[in-house]
Amino acid sequence: MSQDETGRTTPSLLSGVCQIGIASAAPEKLVAFYRDVLGFPVLFEAGGMTFMRAGATSLMIGAVPDAKAPSGDVMLYFEPADWNAAEAKLEASGVVFDRPAMAVQREGAREHMLRPFKDPEGRPIYLMGWRAA
């Protein structure tokens, strides 16, 4: 919950951080550190990335996608409370999405979606969450 300019409590647009991504020049060494030293269990590996459980948040470690990209070492993933409302509100606020939402997983009548955009410094940010299929 947040407060508007009149002090009224309003529902938050985003429910929290669901995943943090780290790009590394040596992802195998970084995975070993987070797994063996910090004790985060590996959930799965896909597409050259390793996904780990870090409390209520997922930690993704992968290879550096583009060494010249601004702030390319950190990717933030935010889970919207209501996917469609979040997309509409962000677009109305001037956010330009990099591409249409893509389904990364389907389960029954719902799909797990991913939609990228950037912060003002060029850092990659993603809406990531479930919506009705």
Residue 118's beta-bridge partner residues? 124
| pTM for this entry | 0.63
Task: For 73, list phi and psi in degrees, rounded to 5.
Answer: -90, -10
Give the tens place of pLDDT for each residue, 32-85.
Answer: 988 988 889 999 998 889 999 988 899 999 887 665 554 556 787 888 889 999
| CA separation for the pair 101, 132 (Å, rounded) | 13
Q: Is the pLDDT of residue 28 over 80?
A: yes
CATH topology of domain 12-132: 2,3-Dihydroxybiphenyl 1,2-Dioxygenase; domain 1 (3.10.180)
Residue 109 pLDDT class (50, 70, 90 cuts): very high
| pLDDT recorded at residue 40 | 92
Higher pLDDT, 13 or 8: 13
| CA separation for the pair 109, 131 (Å, rounded) | 9
